[in-house]
Structure 1
Amino acid sequence: MRLLVINSNTTDTVTARIEAEARAAAGPGTVIEAMTAPFGLPLIVTRADWQVAGTATLAALGARAGHYDAAIIACFGDPGLDAAKLLATVPVLGISEAAFHAACMLGKRFGVVSFTRDLQPMFEMCLDLHGLRSRCAGFRMGPSFAGDPGRVAEEAEPLVRRLVAEAVEQDGAEVVIIAGGPLAGVARRLGPEMPVPLIDGTAAAVSLAEAMVRLSPRLPRQAPRAPVGLDPALASLYRGAS
């Protein structure tokens, strides 16, 4: 089984962190290919960033069309997910989507923890898209962020530990999602010391993608014709869906 994991920002060190977590979560025989967005921004923190990242994510999917059995958009907020599901002939999952649904299977109410409050509007948008806002116990977010995305996991780990405790003790969360590609792997490290399950979006998406491949190897689509003059990588994604 081949899984394509796309980091929707342009920071290669974040891609490496996501790839390591994806490989740790993958089952025997699953091959992980990780890609960095071919253009865009070093960190996705606004809705404008999210829009740019969606196009970059679709270009990455198109560039590798035909070479994966399922794909994962490894950016919390899932940029480009709706379009990817329309166009791709294989399962495509976002790490927000996967984390939310996995959390719902482990507890009645889940909390969301991340390193910057700037991301919260996109997380709320994803919750509404999946109809899961009522299952969310609340958000515990760090301050506005202006550092190196590749260093977030190490630098923010003490903050994340404190915010998880607040989500459990003050919000009543029965499960906590550690949200954001730059925090990949933090849930695995902190999990043993926490009183509730911690969910890593990348790990959840890999496990669910493996299950989806086994359930539905191909998903034929009726997609629109590619516009004239479209970027070749995006046009490949359209051709794959036709």
Structure 2
Amino acid sequence: MINPNGNSDATAAMVEQAQNMLGPNVRVTGKTNTQAPTLLATPADMQLAEQGVLALGLQAAQALTDLEKTGAIIIAAFSDPGLSALRAQVSMPVLGIGESAFLEAATQYGRFGIVTITPDADFLASFSARATALGISDQYCGARVTQGNAQALLANPALLDAALSAAITESMMDGAQAIILGGGPLSAAAARLQSQFDVPLINPVAAAARAAFKD
């Protein structure tokens, strides 16, 4: 599992989520892109993320080949930086948590929305572009952004959960039958908040883990 940003704590948390999902017969290891900032927010950040994903992914693929092990690579950022480039250069499955969450939401639940803490207009526009590219644009009913500073929310789980809950309620009013929490660092909140809502809250990390080993 490659975390395209530089937050090693987030890497450890996402690895734990994936490991719990997959069980003891699969070993999940994490790699952090230390060349990128802890939150990807600008085009320059995304370029660093893509470069890091490609380098770490090629290293991981070679290591598995050398050990004669089978496996998959998961890119653990919602925008899936470097996904296409890495897929083109390795023979093993490469999954992005964003793409996996989109496909799980659309195929299993119908209409879906996204809740995120990142207000960047290009980032939000990429959701519609992703839905169109995957052929599920008719099922995508838009994104809602939390109120408050993203870094401050990530530093305070109680504030984060409150902000996410408000945005989830807004997404339900948009007609979402399932809601993706759009960001690797938000994944754990899906389990914390699920009991408060009747619609499924999709953890992108868990969705990618399920997709990687669904067979």
TM range (shorter): 0.7 to 0.9
CA offsets, 1:93-113, max 9 Å, x none?
000100000001222210100
Give the greater-gyration-radius structure (CA): 1
CA offsets, 1:31-68, max 9 Å, x none?
11011014122211233322221111111112222326
- Specify which of 65, 68, 83 is matched with residue 81 of structure 1: 83
Kindly provide the amino acid, as one letter, of the partner of residue 11 in structure 1: N
- Specify which of 134, 139, 143 is matched with residue 135 of structure 1: 139
The equivalent of 1:228 in structure 2 is: none
The residue correspondences of 1:182-201 to structure 2 (distance < 5 A) are 182-201=185-204
**CA–CA distance in structure 2, aligned partners of residues 124 and 145 of structure 1:** 24
CA offsets, 1:140-190, max 9 Å, x none?
11247452685265531111111111111x201000001101112111121
Kindly provide the amino acid, as one letter, of the partner of residue 200 in structure 2: P
Range with greater deviation from structure 2 (137-146 or 38-47): 137-146
The equivalent of 2:163 in structure 1 is: 159
**CA–CA distance in structure 1, aligned partners of residues 124 and 157 of structure 2:** 18
The equivalent of 1:205 in structure 2 is: 208
The equivalent of 1:103 in structure 2 is: 105
**CA–CA distance in structure 2, aligned partners of residues 31 and 193 of structure 1:** 32
- CA shift, 1:90, in A, is 0.4
Runs of 5+ in structure 2 lacking a partner?
65-69
Answer yes or no: is the 8 Å Cα contact 1:42–1:149 preserved in 2: no
**CA–CA distance in structure 1, aligned partners of residues 137 and 42 of structure 2:** 20
**CA–CA distance in structure 1, aligned partners of residues 176 and 25 of structure 2:** 35
Secondary structure of the structure 2 residue equivalent to 1:139:
strand
Q: Which has the higher contact order (CA 8 A, sep 6+)?
A: 1
Answer yes or no: is the 8 Å Cα contact 2:113–2:142 preserved in 1: yes
**CA–CA distance in structure 1, aligned partners of residues 181 and 83 of structure 2:** 20
The residue correspondences of 1:1-242 to structure 2 (distance < 5 A) are 5-66=1-62, 67=64, 69-118=71-120, 119-143=123-147, 145=149, 147=151, 151=155, 153-168=157-172, 170-211=173-214, 214=215
Identical amino acids, percent of aligned pairs: 33
RMSD of aligned alpha carbons: 2.0
* Structure with greater proportional helix content: 2
